[in-house]
Amino acid sequence: MVHGARVSSTPEVLPAPDLTVWQDRVRLMVKPRRFEHVLRVARLAFDIALANGLDAERAYIAGILHDIARDLPDAELLKLAPPECDIDARHPLALHGRAARTLLERWGFADGTVLEAVEDHTTGPRPHNGVSKAVYIADVSEPGRGVNDDIRELAMTDLDAALRRAIHSKVTYLQGRGIAVHPRTLRVHEALL
């Protein structure tokens, strides 16, 4: 599949253990600059997971896969991940985490920890999934973004404190600008307080 092509409704099963196959699939699905971001997120998620005694290999894989649906057209995102709330309907880009999970499941990827991390990277991780926390933090603080260096550094020594800072920063930023916060993000924020 080339970037911008429509997603086939016929599932194509790819072997989960072959990271090269998945990485190549992501490279074809996203724009070149997005793929550079994906690689930075994967590397940082690996480092964060390793520093916190988590499964670094799974964090790397989730980092590679997290934006596989990011450059799909809105109509595809809405098909793959029907809106759960008004924010999803108005801003389909918010669905790219759930859409990515759907695509990966259709293609035979079955690692629940990684799938959850991919799904939750846009709205915030579930409290039991350390890999998801590492990917979320890596996504918001990878060096190419030029922001959140403090969160990235904190994640190397205190993952939960870094997550609290990242989620709180996102919520206060959006609320301060009068932008609605996704209900999933609000649930994570409230659980972390």
d(CA 123, CA 80): 17
174 contact partners, CB below 8 Å, separation of at least 6: 180, 181
Q: What number is the average pLDDT over the span 106-127?
A: 96
pLDDT band at 193 (very low <50, low <70, confident <90, very high): confident
For residue 168, pLDDT over 70 is answered with: yes
pLDDT in tens, 87-113: 999 999 999 999 999 999 999 999 999
- pLDDT class of 83 with cuts at 50, 70, 90: very high
Residue 108 near residue 11, CB atoms below 8 Å: yes
pLDDT category of residue 14 using cuts at 50, 70 and 90: very low
Crossing angle of helices 130-141 and 32-51, rounded to 10° = 130
CATH superfamily for domain 19-192: Hypothetical protein af1432 (1.10.3210.10)
pLDDT of residue 18: 84
Average pLDDT over the chain, rounded to an integer? 92
Lowest-confidence pick of 11-15, 133-137, 154-158, 186-190: 11-15
User: Could you tell me how many residues make up the chain?
Assistant: 193
User: Which of 100, 95, 16 has the alpha carbon at shortest distance from 58?
Assistant: 16
Query: Which amino acid is it at 71?
Result: D
pLDDT computed for residue 17 by the predictor: 53
